Amino acid sequence: MTDAWPELPYPAWKETCATLQLWTQIVGKVRLALTPWLNHSWHVTLRVTARGLGTPLISRSGHDFQIEFDFLDHVLWIRTAEGHTRQLMLRPMPVAEFYGELLHCSNQLGIAPQIDKIPNELPEAIPFDEDTMHCAYDKEYAQRFWRVLLRAHEVFAYFRTGFLGKASPVHFFWGSFDLAVTRFSGRRAPLHPGGVPHLPDAVVREAYSHECSSAGFWPGGGPIEYAAFYSYAYPAPEGFAAARVKPADAFFSSELGEFVLPYDTVRTASDPKQVLMDFLQSTYAAAADLARWDRASLECEFGRLGVPRRVE
């Protein structure tokens, strides 16, 4: 169980975490530049793979390709439908070097993306081609992070099966550097005020155009210096912060505006999956009940292997 849910102390790998976030932003911005807009910015996300994090298929101007971080062999792969590949070894190197090498490899394959060089959602945004400060890469912790994503993805994907309404994929947002899954009530939400660092207000307002309950995993940083699962509602209904949720270690962070469950609570539990499911379900129920979602129409039994959903 310690292998399935490895220790991930944020202070031990915070420099690698910061560098890796910027690397994933560069890859994510390639997808952003070459993919038509999809609601709630779902077109920009990365997906957890059997070896790391990667883009879905990107098709543009006759080129079909994918980019994947391989955290087993520690290689960034660019693979095309024509059978061509380029690889970039993941090692300690400045963001500026990673940026230059990725664009060089892309240009060799005829992709030539034009991306915005300014990182998103970070208070101190250094242009990618000028960033020589962030250069750490610890292979062990990069792989541990991915292994946590594997287990979180499994639980999030199961949680998603219990909802008939509009729901996001389980996907990785490189701006905020978290794995997330979101459920929607179907109703419009109040206009979001914006104000996210280095992210246009129009993007934030489109992302939160509809009432939602969202949960995810975040490796830590800022006000919470440890890995954690989170859950929030937008707009947060009255009484949400005071709602009783499971497990007992979960709490509402007024600074973040969301419920937080330390990763170590899940990792060290006798049944980590059930503890995480309890958190996901109880925080969602609090949001849905307080906001008076039509739960009877939006929910269904959780999925079972090989058994179609019963329709009466």
Q: Does residue 247 have a cis bond before it (omega within 30 degrees)?
A: yes
DSSP letter assigned to residue 108: H
Q: How many CB atoms lie within 10 A of CB 31?
A: 21
pLDDT digits (tens, 9 = 90+) for 23-33: 999 999 999 99
Strands (E), 57-158: 58-60, 63-70, 75-80, 85-89
Q: Is the pLDDT of residue 307 over 60?
A: yes
List pLDDT tens digits, range 266-286.
999 999 999 999 999 999 999
Convert the pLDDT of each residue in 41-53 to its tens digit.
999 999 999 999 9
Mean pLDDT (whole number) for 300-305: 96
**Torsion angle defined by CA atoms of residues 275, 278, 281 and 286, in that order, rounded to the nearest 10 degrees:** -120
pTM of the entire predicted model:
0.97
Written as six digits, the tokens of 200 are: 């246009």
Domain ranges of the chain: 10-130, 142-298
Chain segment 75-93, per-residue pLDDT in tens: 999 999 999 999 999 999 9
